[in-house]
Amino acid sequence: MQIFGVDIGGSGIKGAPVDLDRGDLAQERFKVLTPHPATPDGVADGVRQVVEHHGWTGPVGLTFPGVVTDGSHIRTAANVDKSWIDTDARALFSERLGGLPVTVVNDADAAGVAEMNFGAGRGRRGTVILLTFGTGIGSALFVDGVLVPNTELGHLELHGHDAEKRASSKVREDEDLTWEHWAHRVQKYLAHVEMLFSPELFIVGGGVSRKSEKFLHYIEGIKAEIVPAQLQNNAGIVGAAMRAAKA
């Protein structure tokens, strides 16, 4: 069975049909740049380009970088335009896609669901936290395999700032930090999250998961096991399609 998944990020919008039996992309993903400002209309046009590129005419699952309630309404918009707040995203995307059935889910929650079913969290019980390091920091919290949605732990306060303003992948690039320097910031963030939730496992996702050998070995003093995401930066696409299949 195949469903189309789209992952909306602060820098890019990417998508592909997903083979739900394998938990992997069925075709090569297509990506467009996220418009700036990332308004609802601009992002919806980007999503349409991605879906039309593949000629897709069935259900579509989409991630969103913020809190999504009742599968549709946007409650926060940290790394996209504030005009997203209170938008009925499902109605907007469905209209822009010519009436196709649409499901919308928090981006890190989607990545987490994919990793728990097909990746680094498969078969793991207890408390598992996936953290996506990209434009911001997304989070997905699982207790015995059950998702606690919309946790948004990237906005925990760390040294007087939103954690993602100190330790996201974008910050590493913007401040030209070495991998070691950035890893020490990530370590402080993980220690803070560990103090609050005492997880058995941290899964590190987002684009940096492809480069885990550059920084994971610098992270010390964390009791939980720390592993890179196995689906890497495709996890959001896979998870979005999984959610759409259950809608």
> Each residue of 29-86: pLDDT tens digit?
999 999 999 999 999 999 999 999 999 999 999 999 999 999 899 999 988 999 999 9
Contact 105, 61 (CB under 8 A): yes
Kindly report the CATH number that applies to the domain delimited by 123-229: 3.30.420.40
CA distance 235 to 245: 15
Q: What is the mean pLDDT of the chain?
A: 96
- Does 233 score more than 90 pLDDT? no
Token pair for residue 96? 């822009």
Q: 3.30.420.40, 1.10.3720.10, 3.40.50.1000, 3.40.800.10: which CATH number matches 2-109+235-246? A: 3.30.420.40
Q: Are the C-beta atoms of residues 44 and 93 closer than 8 Å to each other?
A: yes
Q: How many whole angstroms separate alpha carbon 26 and alpha carbon 172?
A: 32
pLDDT for res 159:
86
pLDDT of residue 225: 98
How large a percentage of the chain has pLDDT more than 90? 94
Q: Give per-residue burial for 163-186: e unless 16+ CB within 10 Å, then b.
A: bbbbbbbbbbeeeeeebeebbbbb
> 123-229: same fold as 2-109+235-246?
yes
CB atoms within 10 A of CB 31: 17
- What are the residue boundaries of the structural domains of the chain, listed by start? 2-109+235-246, 123-229
Is the model's pLDDT at 217 over the cut of 90?
A: yes
3-class DSSP assignment, residue 111: helix
The number of CA neighbours under 13 Å toward the Cβ of 159 is: 10
Contact 77, 39 (CB under 8 A): no
Q: Any residues with CB less than 8 A from the CB of 103 and at least 6 apart, and which?
A: 59, 60, 61, 62, 71, 90, 240, 243, 244, 247
φ/ψ (deg, to 5) at 7 = -110, 115
Write down the pLDDT at residue 10: 87
Q: What six digits make up the tokens of 62?
A: 């989409």
73 has which bridge partners? 69, 88
Q: For residue 104, name the pLDDT band (cuts at 50, 70, 90).
A: very high
Tell me the average pLDDT across 126-153: 96
pLDDT in tens, 158-207: 889 999 999 999 999 999 999 999 999 999 999 999 999 999 999 999 98
